[in-house]
Amino acid sequence: MNTREALTTPAPPAVTDLHASLTDPALTAMTFLNEVAERHPGALSLAAGAPYEGFYDVEDVHRALRVFTDHLRDERGYDAARVRRTLLQYGRTKGIIHDLIARHLAVDEGIDVDPEAVVVTTGCQEALVLTLRALRRDERDVLLAVDPVYVGVTGAARLLDMPVRPVAGGARGIDLADLRRAAREARTAGLRPRACYLVPDFANPSGLRLPLADRRALLEVAEEEGLLLLEDNPYGLFPLGEERLPTLKALDTRQQVVYLGSLAKTVFPGVRIGFAVADQPVPDSAGPLILADLLARAKSMFTVNTSPVAQAVAGGHLLEHDCSLLRATERVRAVYRENLRRLLRRLAVHFPAPSPVTWNSPQGGFFVVVGVPFDVTGDLLERSARDHRVLWTPLDHFHAGPPAPRALRLSASSLPPRRIDEAVDRFAGFVRAHTPAGP
């Protein structure tokens, strides 16, 4: 019977019988980048967006765990059995360090939020996935995202079959006219633009920071267009200078912003602790709810709860610094500043203006976008790693919109400061070797 054959997929299945996200080019591109790095362990990495690990110490894990255990006993008044249960058993879906995260947001970001609006997640990626899951009701729902966009966002959206429509970033971080256009075009196509994703502070990969006036204007546009804003803020504590700008969430008086937080760069990635702040009231007949409660319901079916052991380590780390991650990151922030300054200075030494090689000058964060006078390919990255012993990231991996083959991303986060000049020297050698001779 023909129908039966068509509906019987073989077990084991072919790749074409599986969900399309699993063979998405963005995913295979990321795998390729990692493989190049593994094949060339001697190459210096201006590719990795991983945090600087020079101050890491396994003993910090033990100490943080003890600090949190003491906190449960001394400040929350838990007896020994309850301390054990809190760390080792199943637990609250929204997490056990929500109060400490809320305190951090108040202390470091001027964000005042009820701890009940915080959902502690298995890294920021899960916070994003839960938010998209809630917002994608059916096939008409789409996400807007400032382009170029972090590959984790397009990946999460594809896993949930939610299309991503690009919004131009322009020179200031988001082009508000283009945001309006994107929202309206989506609606004209019969779609529902639900939210716009962006990193207002030192975006990945663009490095851009939204000026204060643009933040306020963005909140206005979002309200007019009926959009939530998904504000992802992994780099906000790392400006080059002293000035930090208020987050969108700090300016948000009408609950238009879902704030996505990560402790990967401020505690360490191995805790895999992130969070969502979702204080939006959600009308429901059964009683007062906020969006965080609904994200928690989705979480209970994705990962049940976030490891309380990992939360305890992050919580202890927060407690050790009075819940100020600005204070906790004093040493590493100095490294990031030094690294970004050196990288920009050294690029200027190698490519004095006028040059066919150009770059932007971010005011903080990890990333610099470099324009080069040749097409950037995977093959070129392999040759850069092999012949020049330096790694970087093609910008094309980040594009939801039109391709950008002549640009790449440099990251200044993971190398020690003393290796930055050398890495940029190698990078300059690579660029020169592939730059066509001038006219």
**Window 315-374: residues binding a copy of itself (CB under 8 A):** none
The reply on whether position 70 binds a copy of itself by CB under 8 A is no
288 binds a copy of itself (CB under 8 A): no
How many residues in the shown chain lie near a copy of itself by CB under 8 A? 105
Does 77 bind a copy of itself (CB under 8 A)? Our answer is no
What track of x and - describes contact with a copy of itself for positions 104 through 143 (by CB under 8 A)?
------------------xx-xx--x---xxxxx--x---
Rounded to 5 degrees, φ, ψ at 141 are -85, 130
To which residue do tokens 């100095």 refer? 334
Say if residues 44 and 391 touch (Cβ distance below 8 Å): yes
Determine if 225 is a binding residue for a copy of itself (CB under 8 A). yes
The residue type at 237:
L
Helix (H) or strand (E) holding 119: strand 118-122
Contact status: 289 vs a copy of itself (CB under 8 A): yes
User: At its nearest, how many Å lie between a copy of itself and the CB of residue 361?
Assistant: 27
Please compute Rg for the chain using Cα positions: 23
Angle between helices 212-225 and 176-188 (to 10 degrees): 20
Question: Which position among 25, 35, 39, 62 is part of the footprint of a copy of itself (CB under 8 A)?
Answer: 62
Compute the least distance from the CB of residue 136 to a copy of itself, in Å.
6
Classified as helix, coil or strand, 229 is strand
Task: Tell me if 398 contacts a copy of itself by CB under 8 A.
Answer: no
Question: Which residue, 25 or 403, has its beta carbon nearer to a copy of itself?
Answer: 25
Residues 6+ apart with CB under 8 A from 70: none
Which residue in the set 309, 334, 349, 433 belongs to the binding site for a copy of itself (CB under 8 A)?
309
**Pick from 33, 46, 277, 294: which binds a copy of itself (CB under 8 A)?**
294
Q: What is the rounded CA–CA span in Å between residue 349 and residue 345?
A: 6
106: how many CB neighbours lie within 10 A of its CB?
Answer: 14
Q: CB within 8 A of 364, min separation 6: which ones?
A: 201, 202, 209, 235, 238, 239, 240, 241, 336, 337, 340
Q: Binding of a copy of itself at residue 90 (CB under 8 A)?
A: yes
Q: Which residues pair with 180 in a beta bridge?
A: none
- Using CB under 8 A as the binding rule, the residues of this chain from 204 to 223 that contact a copy of itself are 222-223
When asked if residue 39 is in the footprint of a copy of itself (CB under 8 A), the reply is no
Pick one of 79, 300, 322, 416: the residue that binds a copy of itself (CB under 8 A).
300
Instruction: Report the residue from 46, 47, 65, 143 that binds a copy of itself according to the rule CB under 8 A.
Output: 65
Show the tokens assigned to 153.
């966002």
Kind and range of the H or E element at 166? strand 164-168
> For residues 94 and 346, which CB has a smaller minimum distance to a copy of itself in the complex?
94
Burial of 353 (0-12, 13-18, 19+ CB in 10 A): exposed
The interface with a copy of itself within residues 266-285 (CB under 8 A) comprises 268-273, 280-284
Pick 177 or 302: Cβ nearer a copy of itself:
302
Cβ at position 264, least distance to a copy of itself in Å:
8
**419 touching a copy of itself, by CB under 8 A:** no
Q: Quick one: tokens of 32?
A: 């390729």
Residues 239-268 close enough to bind a copy of itself by CB under 8 A: 255-256, 264, 268
What would the two tokens of residue 342 be? 């050196």
Minimum gap (Å) between residue 297 Cβ and a copy of itself: 5
Nearest to 366 by CA among 401, 413, 408: 413
Expressed in angstroms, the distance from the first to the final Cα of the chain is 68
Q: Minimal distance in Å, beta carbon 99 to a copy of itself? A: 18
Give the per-residue contact string, 18-37, with a copy of itself (x = CB under 8 A; - = no). xxxxxx---xx-xx------
Nearer to a copy of itself, 155 or 173 (CB): 155
Interface with a copy of itself in residues 141-170 (CB under 8 A):
152, 155-156, 158-159
Q: Does 58 bind a copy of itself (CB under 8 A)?
A: yes
CA distances from 373 to 120, 332, 355, 377, 435 (A): 44, 34, 10, 13, 6
